[in-house]
Amino acid sequence: MNKGRVLAVFITAATVALIAIGTLWPGKTALQYSGGKNLLRTSSTPQAAVENLGDEIRLRAWGAAYSSLGNKAEFSQSDFVHDLTGYYLSLRTYATLESFEVRPLHASSDQAEVRLRMHWSSVVGPFTTTRDLQVVKNGDRWNVDWPLVRKTVVPPQVIPENYLRWDVIYRGPGDDWGVQDVEAPHVRIVDMHPVQRAEGVVVLGELLNEDVVPAYVSVRATLQSKSGSPISTEGSFDKISHILLPKQVTPFFVNFPNATLSDVGSIRMEPLSGLVSASAGPVIVIENQQLNPAPGATVTGQLVNQSGQVVNIAHILETLYDKTGQVVWVADQYTDHALLPLTPIPFDIHIPEDLARKVSSERTIVETYSVGGVH
Amino acid sequence: MVLASLSLASAQDSRMSLPTTVGAGSAFSIHSTGSGKAVLYIVGPGQALRRDVQLGESTYFPVGSLYNAGHYLVILVAGSSTDNGWVDVVPANTPANLSFLAKPSRLPIGLHNGISGTVYIFDVYHNLITKPTPVSFKLSNPSGSAQQRAVTAHEGVATTEMDSSEKEGFAKFEAQVDGISSTRVVEQVPGSPCGLTMIARPSGKGIQLATNPVRDCSGNAVPDGTIITFTESYDGAQSTADVPLKHGVAQVEIPAHPGATITVASGVVLGNEIHWQK
């Protein structure tokens, strides 16, 4: 009984002590999320002013961030917020700023240029945006002039749309068992190639919908040992366009972490397909695609939405081929901006440095997701 | 009213005379010997009957009493003594229902033995008729041509294979047995584009690309929604667009680059090439 009382007193005392320590010397993260002001430095240098702005953006303290700007008279707080989170629903809308880097570019006694690289976290992975900021001295403080990118205005117009749409009606539970169901789409793997990478084995290839109806597709691959026993089974998840219209081709990428190609005797491939309701629009033109060689190899280009519908998220899939036309890599990227009608949006997809020299040509496809129109 | 065969099973006890076979759903009777009251039980696949009987008389079972084909146990209980035997209920001779499986429901044109049809023949009580039965299959194409096959069903099943026609459209696939028929519809769809060609026209600062009407090698129009890929290559760069067919053609506007090479493709089928000089 006595031991229990001693333990209770000890736990109570320890709790009080820890609360006192946490209150007097709070951690940085705790302070951020409690909205504590002590986190922010005084904006006595250009770098400190940009760091404060970055912290406020990370905390989504839009009012404080907007108030700190030197050029806030040029736009409203709403414009500032939308510049960061997107004027239309897009990946940016629900992204959170994970971290940022501040790099001074030029500085004088009353003016400086500072680069702010913001690392965002979204549901499909991280993305980075960069802004070069003018920072101006105002008395003993420095204020950031935010380079606002204004909302793209689409001229009022009527864009006729008469794209096809497919809907699927399956057999009902009351139907006789001999009644036909709708046939699953016929798909075919037209190319397949295993690659050994440092992180494991990757199976790359291309899948064709050779049917006349849209297909929801996936690819399952099983590595088999030289004796024929299965080593591992994995499916394509990202780096594939899961909805394929008739005669459309998608790359696929199946990753086997920690596998070794020399242990593999054969690979069993299973293309999977199902009927899906789909629309044949919108048409996205990929303009000025360019393969930029190593170092820093990338594929760059611009997406142009030729329909009247806003594309909220675009998934760009890049299939890279060697001189013989064999797939050597599949890369992808999501746009963090919505695609407005007839408004080019640039993209820049990184290619692994060691593969860049093998790449001779590329093919780009775009999978789109839309939830609304222009307003 | 049709009475079942009353051929007696010789091995059975003298107190109960059973027919060896009864047609599914047919009327039949069981005669017993002796005197007094007894209870007659008939137990089989999915069915059990109980009748109070007067020994020495025939017990009559009307049409529809036993309708599931199979092997039935018959037990006569009179006081402490029992007698038992077996009766086989066989499917009726006349087909009444067909279950017709036609696969696939959609396939490309011109496929040899691409369509399979399997028919299961049932009597009015859904018992599979296992005796050899002639079945005729007929595939009527939208063009008016037809393929026919005559097949004999064994153990209740008949199967055949048919070719898809060279003409797209919905074909009627019919199975017929003794005046009973079942029909399925098979969609025959065009094949891959054949002789894919496009034309290019200047359009403001761009190029308007449009395919000629896209057809397969048999001359069928390729369905709308099929993706046509246009690719323009110039100065180490390229522009591409995946465009669905609309009213038989695909068209798109892309930026104009003098000296560009423009190609068109659909799936793994390549079309013509245009060198843009303007």
Tens of pLDDT, residues B105-121 = 999 999 999 999 999 99
Give the mean model confidence (pLDDT) for residues A161-175.
79
Please indicate, yes or no, whether residues B121 and B60 belong to a single structural domain of this protein.
no
Instruction: Answer whether residue B196 shows pLDDT above 90.
Output: yes
Q: Measure the CA dihedral A128/A132/A138/A142, to 10°.
A: 40
Residue to mutate among A167, A171, A212, A306, with most B CBs inside 10 A, is A212
Confidence of residue A223 (pLDDT cuts 50, 70, 90): very high
CB-based contact A306 B253, cutoff 8 Å: yes
Question: How does DSSP classify residue A339?
Answer: B
Residues of chain A with CATH 2.60.40.10: 166-278, 281-369
Least confident of A65-69, A247-251, B5-9, B212-216: B5-9
Please indicate, yes or no, whether residues B179 and B214 belong to a single structural domain of this protein.
no
The answer to whether residue B180 is domain-embedded is: yes
Quickly count: other Cβ atoms within 10 Å of residue A236's Cβ. Answer: 25
CB-based contact A178 B253, cutoff 8 Å: no
Strand order in the sheet with A141-145: A96-107, A111-122, A125-138, A141-145
The predicted pLDDT at position A178 comes to 67
The answer to whether residue B117 is domain-embedded is: yes
Q: Enter the CATH code of domain A31-145.
A: 3.10.450.100
- Residue B247 dihedral angles phi and psi, to the nearest 5°: 50, 40
What is the tens place of the pLDDT at every residue in A306-339? Answer: 888 899 999 999 999 999 999 999 999 999 889 9
What is the tens place of the pLDDT at every residue in B222-259? Answer: 999 999 999 999 988 999 999 999 999 999 999 999 99
The answer to whether residue B52 is domain-embedded is: yes
Strand-pair partners of A222 = A233, A268
Chain A hits for B225, Cβ within 8 Å: 164, 166, 212, 214, 245-246, 280
| Out of B107, B242, B255, closest to residue A365 by CB | B242
Please indicate, yes or no, whether residues B36 and B83 belong to a single structural domain of this protein.
yes
Total count of residues recorded for chain A = 375
Query: Which residue, chain included where needed, has tokens 């098979």?
Result: B186
Chain B hits for A288, Cβ within 8 Å: 237, 239, 255
Please indicate, yes or no, whether residues B85 and B106 belong to a single structural domain of this protein.
no
Residues of chain A with CATH 3.10.450.100: 31-145
The predicted pLDDT at position B46 comes to 84
**CA-to-CA distance for A36 and A192, rounded, in angstroms?**
55
What mean pLDDT value characterizes chain B? Answer: 90
Rg of the Cα trace of chain A? 27
Each as own residue / partner, the long-range contacts of residues A321-327 (CB below 8 Å, 24 or more positions apart, any chain) are A321/A359, A321/A360, A321/A361, A321/A362, A321/A363, A322/A358, A322/A359, A322/A360, A323/A360, A325/A361, A326/A191, A326/A193, A327/A191, A327/A193, A327/A204, A327/A205, A327/A206, A327/A251
Q: Which among A311, A327, A304, A313 is positioned nearest to A373, based on CA atoms?
A: A311
Please indicate, yes or no, whether residues B181 and B228 belong to a single structural domain of this protein.
no
Instruction: Answer whether residue B5 shows pLDDT above 80.
Output: no
What is the tens place of the pLDDT at every residue in A169-208? Answer: 887 777 776 677 788 999 999 999 999 999 899 999 999 9
Reduced 3-state DSSP string for A174-211: CCCCCCCCCCCCCEEEEEEEEEEECCEEEEEEEEEECC
The predicted pLDDT at position A39 comes to 53
The CATH H-level (homologous superfamily) assignment of domain A281-369 is Immunoglobulins (2.60.40.10)
Which of B144, B164, B189 is where one domain is finished?
B189
Confidence of residue A36 (pLDDT cuts 50, 70, 90): low
The answer to whether residue B126 is domain-embedded is: yes
Distance to chain B for A361, nearest Cα, Å: 10
Q: Which among B155, B153, B159 is positioned nearest to B127, based on CA atoms?
A: B155
Give the mean model confidence (pLDDT) for residues A84-108.
92
* Torsion-angle region of B179 (φ positive above 0: left; ψ -120 to 50: alpha; else: beta): left
Give the mean model confidence (pLDDT) for residues B194-201.
94
Please indicate, yes or no, whether residues B258 and B205 belong to a single structural domain of this protein.
yes
CB-based contact B255 A162, cutoff 8 Å: no
* Torsion-angle region of B163 (φ positive above 0: left; ψ -120 to 50: alpha; else: beta): beta
**CA-to-CA distance for A119 and B231, rounded, in angstroms?**
34
Please indicate, yes or no, whether residues B182 and B202 belong to a single structural domain of this protein.
no
Residue B273 touches partner A, C-beta closer than 8 Å = no
How many domains does the structure of chain B reveal?
3
More confident residue, A375 or A40: A40
Least confident of A148-157, B157-166, B194-203, B241-250: A148-157
Instruction: Answer whether residue A346 shows pLDDT above 90.
Output: yes
Quickly count: other Cβ atoms within 10 Å of residue A28's Cβ. Answer: 11
**Domain A166-278 is of which CATH architecture?**
Sandwich (2.60)
What is the tens place of the pLDDT at every residue in B11-43? Answer: 334 478 899 999 999 999 999 888 888 999 999
User: What is the SS3 assignment for B234?
Assistant: strand
Which helix or strand (DSSP H or E) is residue A103 part of? strand A96-107
Q: What is the residue range of B231's domain?
A: 198-276
The answer to whether residue B7 is domain-embedded is: no
The predicted pLDDT at position A321 comes to 93
> What percent of chain A has pLDDT above 90?
60
What is the tens place of the pLDDT at every residue in B33-72? Answer: 888 889 999 999 888 999 999 988 899 999 999 999 999 9
Contact between B102 and B186 under an 8 Å Cβ cutoff? The reply is: yes
Instruction: Kindly give the pairing relationship between strand B106-108 and strand A298-305.
Output: unpaired
What mean pLDDT value characterizes chain A? Answer: 88
Question: How does DSSP classify residue A121?
Answer: E
Burial class (CB in 10 A: 0-12, 13-18, 19+), A296: exposed
CB-based contact A180 B105, cutoff 8 Å: yes
Confidence of residue B3 (pLDDT cuts 50, 70, 90): very low
Chain A hits for B182, Cβ within 8 Å: 178
Confidence of residue A29 (pLDDT cuts 50, 70, 90): low
The answer to whether residue B103 is domain-embedded is: yes
Confidence of residue B151 (pLDDT cuts 50, 70, 90): very high
CB-based contact B105 A181, cutoff 8 Å: yes
Residues 179-198 (B) with a CB less than 8 A from some CB of A: 182, 184-185, 189-190, 192-193
Chain A hits for B223, Cβ within 8 Å: 212, 246
Give the mean model confidence (pLDDT) for residues A225-240.
93
The answer to whether residue B3 is domain-embedded is: no
Give the CATH number of the domain where residue B84 resides.
2.60.40.10
The answer to whether residue B10 is domain-embedded is: no
Please indicate, yes or no, whether residues B184 and B103 belong to a single structural domain of this protein.
yes
Give the mean model confidence (pLDDT) for residues A106-116.
91
Query: Which chain B residue's Cα is nearest to A281?
Result: B244
From start to end of B165-277, where are the E strands? Answer: 169-177, 180-189, 198-203, 206-211, 227-234, 237-244, 251-255, 260-266, 269-276
Distance to chain B for A93, nearest Cα, Å: 28
| Out of A178, A214, A366, closest to residue B101 by CB | A178
The predicted pLDDT at position A307 comes to 87
The predicted pLDDT at position B9 comes to 37
Which two tokens mark A359?
């790449």
Residue B204 touches partner A, C-beta closer than 8 Å = no
Name the percent of chain A in helix, strand, coil, to the closest 5. Answer: 20, 45, 35
| Out of A176, A181, A290, closest to residue B236 by CB | A290
Instruction: Answer whether residue B6 shows pLDDT above 60.
Output: no
Quickly count: other Cβ atoms within 10 Å of residue A146's Cβ. Answer: 24
CB-based contact B242 A163, cutoff 8 Å: no
